[in-house]
Amino acid sequence: MSKKDLSTVFIGKKELLNYVLATVMNLNSDLAEVTIKARGAAISMAVDVAEIVRRRYVRNAVIEEVKIGTELLDSHRGGKSNVSFIEIHLLRPPGEISTPAPAPVKEPPKEHHPSK
């Protein structure tokens, strides 16, 4: 499978769970592979998305590859600027079904009896 066939989730300014949902949906598709991409300040959110997906929703997903680097982009002020980027390639092994993590068990509240 070529890199062009992969689904890509670009991380931006939306809520974290929007990107988690998009990643989970892509991992559960026929391709079962997704690349999470982010630049600049969104890099930490991309890492969070990958870890939440792996630990809570698609527990059998593996991080196949991580690429980091710097791109030279046109600045909104008219010049050029260096911007860091990250690409996280997640893979769900073929034939495996995603298994969400079990919900945490909450203990019932302790009853408080005033002393007599």
**Higher-confidence residue: 1 or 76?**
76
Query: Residue 87's beta-bridge partner residues?
Result: 37, 67
Tally of domains in the chain: 1
Asked whether residue 100 is assigned to any structural domain, the reply reads no
Per-residue pLDDT tens over the stretch 11-37? 999 999 999 999 999 998 877 899 999
Per-residue pLDDT tens over the stretch 57-100? 998 899 999 999 999 988 878 889 899 999 999 998 876 655 55
Residue 37, domain extent: 3-91
* The model's pTM: 0.75
Task: For residues 93 and 80, give the distance between their C-alpha atoms in angstroms, rounded to a whole number.
Answer: 41
Asked whether residue 106 is assigned to any structural domain, the reply reads no
Find the CATH number of the domain harbouring 48.
Answer: 3.30.110.20
Asked whether residue 97 is assigned to any structural domain, the reply reads no
